[in-house]
Amino acid sequence: MKVREIMTSNVECLGPESSLKEIAQEMKSLDVGFIPICENDRLVGTVTDRDIVIRHVADGRDVNTTQVREIMSREIIYAFEEDDVKTVAERMREKDVRRILILDENKRLVGVVSIGDISKVEEKVSGKTLHDIAEAA
């Protein structure tokens, strides 16, 4: 099964100049803990709710003036929409992530896949992936 068949395709992307307050409000509105960061139609990073807390709140910085570029993760972990679900699960396990961005052949963001998405179709694979990620945490 191809990952494009299980991915969430309506992914919101915000710019690196966005304030942390804007990012947090978007996360709340969408009920997500992860936002891709795009600039000039290209993926440049990601921000999680954990990034906001650990890299920002813990340092006592201002959520209204701090731009997301100051705390975003610049390492972009991704897979391609034509990749097999098992391959994507393995990549998630290797990188110790609970969600992965999905790109098209032109490296444009087209979706996101979570462990939950994989678990719905690949019980054995997702169990191993989740176990390995949980152990690393």
**pLDDT at position 126 over 90:** no
Q: What's residue 65's pLDDT?
A: 85
Q: At what angle do helices 85-95 and 123-136 cross, to 10 degrees?
A: 10
pLDDT tens, position by position, 63-73: 788 889 999 99
What mean pLDDT do residues 99-107 have? 94
What the chain holds in terms of domains, given with CATH numbers, is: 3-136 (3.10.580.10)
Ranking 24-38, 55-69, 73-87, 89-103 by mean pLDDT, the lowest is: 55-69
113 forms bridges with which residues in the sheet? 100
pLDDT tens, position by position, 20-40: 999 999 999 999 999 999 998
